[in-house]
Structure 1
């Protein structure tokens, strides 16, 4: 089994992985998303990929600097990061954060088709023991048997072996809640913390009329996309499973 690190505090991303048989180690990236968004000049879809890569690299640096105890004994680790933004009228709609901003978002998107973009970045980290064994040099005190290699690998630092990014998009037809329903939704504070001021796996699910595409993209992490990235880097997807199926 290859341990997986999720570079996100998103409950929905964690649940998607758990439902797919993967129980991830959570390491929050603490990337300044707003600063990156303010300086970015590409498309909304490209921005989600840039954000996911920034999150992945921040967590990779932390693992390389000091791997958490949960990764002890692993010689390969997969890091998964994601970011999502709703696009409407050519502009990105992120997490509104406040009731006033949520009302503004909903006044624009209610009854409209939008695009939900999710960027995905997957990285593979490996331990590279720096020893006579690793260099192919042997001596009287270094016979490089299996136990020696295992011990050296377990204590070696991680390094980045491969990193890939890919994004996906799903069309979303937003419903038209009544003013009273919208105020009740705002009172839950759920829309403050999700891209586009709604999520389909919570109170907001009743206010989405139709999806055209992968529903997991809307939740923030497309398992088919992540599997493609993992497979492209030479790993066997079932090796990431940690929960009984």
Structure 2
């Protein structure tokens, strides 16, 4: 097996990996997303998603290489996955709304329309060195993925009920497809996993580019 680190606290991302046979060690990054965006004022929405994914991956890698965090197990190779998702609506980014009021504003504009959901992917390979078994960064690659989401327009009562669940507060674009919000999504163009937060085909391609056999990530002990 190859050890897998998920640089994200997202239950949905962890569930995607688990469903594909991958048990990931979760390390949550601490990144000031607003500061990253401010540092790249001319970045497109898809570029910003990629920049945030890389920032989150690098934050966790720095902790691992500095000894603040450890990757459990005896594997000599590990891959790290980091990602960030942003909805693009009428050409502008829509992140996590955090509040009921912001969620309502997003859905009042988005309902009955189509929007692009961009997910940036950052994948790094780490190898143990011979001296002291410390980890070193061997290589890293990145790739964004985009899916187009077609939504229904919730009735005012349905929107009130959806907001009351608080589910959309901490997800990109106030939108889920694997929860209460799935009933308001009428179609998806592209990999549906991109909307949830990780595109498995993209991850497999990037892992392979790093010289790692994708099935080596599967937890065959399950």
Which of the five TM-score ranges fits, normalised by the shorter chain?
A: over 0.9
Aligned to 1:134: none
**Conserved in 1, the CA contact under 8 Å of 2:151 and 2:184?**
yes
In the alignment, the residues of structure 2 paired with residue 156 and residue 67 of structure 1 have an alpha-carbon distance, to the nearest angstrom, of 15
Superposed CA RMSD in Å reads 1.3
Distance 1:63-1:112 versus aligned 2 partners, 3 A rule: same
Alpha-carbon distance in 2 for matches of 1:127, 1:236: 17
- Alignment check: 8 A CA contact 2:3 2:73 kept: no
SS of equivalent residue, structure 2 residue 130: coil
User: Contact between 2:83 and 2:120, CA under 8 Å: does it hold in 1?
Assistant: yes
Structure with the larger helix share: 1
Instruction: Name the CA distance, whole Å, in 1 between partners of 2:8 and 2:21.
Output: 18
User: Is the 1:116–1:169 Cα contact (8 Å) retained in structure 2?
Assistant: yes
* Unaligned runs of at least 5 residues, structure 1: 131-154
The answer (yes or no) to whether the contact 2:64–2:70 under 8 Å persists in 1 is: no
Aligned to 1:57: 58
Query: 2: CA distance between counterparts of 1:187 and 1:108?
Result: 19
Rg (Cα) greater in structure: 1
TM-score, normalising length from structure 1? 0.87
Runs of 4+ in structure 1 over 3 Å off: 67-70
Q: Secondary structure at the match of 2:164?
A: helix
Equivalent positions of 1:1-245 (< 5 A) are 1-40=1-40, 41-66=42-67, 68=69, 70-130=71-131, 155-243=132-220
TM-score (norm 2): 0.96
Contact kept, 8 Å, 1:21 with 1:244, in 2: the verdict is no
Q: Aligned partners of 2:134 and 2:28: how far apart in 1?
A: 20
Give the conservation status (yes or no) of the 8 Å contact 1:23–1:243: no
Unaligned runs of at least 5 residues, structure 2? none
The alignment of Structure 1 onto Structure 2 pairs a total of residues equal to 221
Using the TM superposition, give the Cα deviation of residue 125 of structure 1 relative to its aligned residue in structure 2, in angstroms.
Answer: 0.5
